[in-house]
Amino acid sequence: MAVKLETPLSLDDVLKLKAGDRVFLSGVVYTARDLAHKRFLTQGFPFNPEGAVIYHCGPLVKDMKVVSAGPTTSARMNPYLNFIFSKGIRAVIGKGGMNPEPFKGRGVYFAFPGGAGSLASEFVKRIRRVYWEDLGMADAVWELEVEEMPLIVGIDTKGRSLFI
């Protein structure tokens, strides 16, 4: 099944999805890697997390244009899942899968293929804002506007996973 979704996502939006579904996501996503997740714990989110989507990505940006936006390995962010879902995050985009347990009843994992950073950048329409630039380009939190980004539901809200 192919579904078009727009951020922010509601709980109902994600509860309807099943592992293996194709999704075309539009709206705002926020990049976050290891350092940003650590800072979320100590300083909170620099954006409203309710219904938000986090993209495990360290984009390559030139002249405020994303030239590459491939996913990073998501498993490193497993320790932060319960925290981000407790604050209202509804989806995570990345590669390689994650622990499916924290997703149950709370959110979904969208998979995007590794090695396709240039392709991913084609779905980024603009950079809206950047937070925590002191972390460096790859680890700052980038607020990106995406249009019909093609994704696969890798983990659904029942904990079903394509990765195990």
Catalytic residue among 33, 37, 39, 90: 37
In this structure, the strands spanning 108-111 and 91-94 are: parallel
Mark whether 56 is an active-site residue. no
The Cβ of residue 142 has, within 10 Å, a number of other Cβ atoms equal to 26
Separation of alpha carbons 156 and 162, rounded Å = 9
- Contact at 8 Å (CB) between 157 and 103? yes
Separation of alpha carbons 84 and 107, rounded Å = 10
Instruction: Show which residues are catalytic.
Output: 37
